[in-house]
C-alpha cells in the first residue's frame, strides 16, 4: 500500500506544479503495531505520526533505538499532564493551541536543552468540539507565541470540518501563515491530501492509504 500511495502522491504533486521534495509525508501509525510500522520503515520511510502518548511510549522507544533517524510527529490534542512525555518522545508537535501548553514546552526546552519543532493548530471551522485556536483568536495567539516564548514554531496546522469543502480552510490557513511569515503548513489527510497540496501544504498526514483500515 505504501508504494501505491507514493505513486498517487507523486501524481498529486505534479498536478499541482509542486516539487515532491517540498512535501513531507507523515505516515499516521496510530493503532498500528511495531511490526506494521517496521514494514513501512523497511521501504525507506522515516516520518511518522501518533496521537496517543500511551501508544508512543509502548512502540517508539524500541523503534527509535533501532533507527535513530526516524522522525516522530505528535498530531493529537495535548493534555498538560502528558506534555512532558510528548516532548521527550516526539520531534515535531503539530497541535499547540493553548498558552498553558506553550508555557510547559517552553519551560521543558529551557531546562532540558532539546529543541523541538512546533505547529500551532488552528480551528478553521470554529468547531466547539474540536481542538485548535479559533479563527477570531488566531492573530493574537500566534503573535503572543512568537513574541513571548522561545519555541521553534515553524507553521500552522488544521483539520477542516468533515462536512465542508476543505479547500477554503486550507487557503485560509495559508493566508494566516503568510501573514506571520510561517513557512510550513500541516494540512491534508487520506481523503483530501491532493487538495491540500494544491493549496500549499508542506506536511500531509496520511494513515489508511499507507497502513490500511484501523482496527
**pLDDT computed for residue 213 by the predictor:** 79
Could you tell me whether strands 117-123 and 152-157 are parallel, antiparallel, or unpaired per DSSP bridges?
parallel
> Quick count: other Cβ atoms within 10 Å of Cβ 2?
17
β strands within the chain, DSSP E: 24-28, 47-50, 71-74, 92-96, 117-123, 133-134, 152-157, 184-186, 203-206
**Does 66 have pLDDT greater than 70?**
yes
Give residues with Cβ within 8 angstroms of 20, minimum separation 6. 9, 10, 13
- Pick the closest to residue 195 from 156, 169, 157 (CA basis): 169
**Does 194 have pLDDT greater than 70?**
yes
User: Mean pLDDT score of the chain, rounded to an integer?
Assistant: 96
Mean pLDDT of 84-93: 98
pTM of structure? 0.95
**pLDDT computed for residue 119 by the predictor:** 98
Q: Map out the domains of the chain as residue ranges.
A: 2-211
For residues 183 and 203, is the Cβ–Cβ distance under 8 A? Answer: no
Mean pLDDT of 21-39: 95
Binned at pLDDT 50, 70 and 90, residue 160 comes out as: very high
Mean pLDDT of 89-103: 97
As a whole number of angstroms, the distance between CA 32 and CA 214 comes to 7
- Pick the closest to residue 158 from 211, 202, 117 (CA basis): 202
For residues 187 and 196, is the Cβ–Cβ distance under 8 A? Answer: yes
- Tell me which fold the domain 2-211 belongs to: TIM Barrel (3.20.20)
**Does 215 have pLDDT greater than 70?**
no
Amino acid at each position: 500500500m505504501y508504494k501505491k500511495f507514493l505513486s498517487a502522491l507523486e501524481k498529486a504533486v505534479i498536478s499541482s506544479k509542486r516539487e515532491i521534495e517540498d512535501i513531507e509525508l507523515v505516515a499516521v501509525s496510530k493503532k498500528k503495531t511495531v511490526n506494521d510500522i517496521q514494514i513501512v520503515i523497511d521501504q525507506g520511510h522515516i516520518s511518522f505520526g501518533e496521537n496517543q502518548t500511551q501508544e508512543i511510549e509502548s512502540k517508539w522507544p524500541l523503534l527509535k533505538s533501532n533507527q535513530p533517524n526516524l522522525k516522530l510527529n505528535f498530531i493529537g490534542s495535548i493534555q498538560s499532564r502528558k506534555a512532558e512525555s510528548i516532548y521527550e518522545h516526539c520531534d515535531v508537535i503539530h497541535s499547540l493551541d493553548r498558552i498553558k501548553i506553550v508555557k510547559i514546552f517552553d519551560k521543558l526546552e529551557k531546562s532540558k536543552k532539546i529543541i523541538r519543532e512546533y505547529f500551532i493548530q488552528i480551528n478553521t471551522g470554529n468547531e466547539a468540539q474540536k481542538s485548535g485556536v479559533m479563527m477570531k483568536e488566531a492573530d493574537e495567539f500566534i503573535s503572543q507565541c512568537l513574541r513571548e516564548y522561545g519555541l521553534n514554531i515553524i507553521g500552522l496546522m488544521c483539520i477542516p470540518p468533515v462536512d465542508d469543502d476543505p479547500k477554503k480552510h486550507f487557503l485560509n490557513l495559508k493566508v494566516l501563515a503568510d501573514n506571520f511569515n510561517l513557512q510550513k503548513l500541516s494540512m491534508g489527510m487520506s481523503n483530501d491530501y491532493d487538495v491540500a497540496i494544491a493549496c500549499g501544504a508542506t506536511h500531509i498526514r496520511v494513515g489508511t492509504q499507507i497502513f490500511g483500515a484501523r482496527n
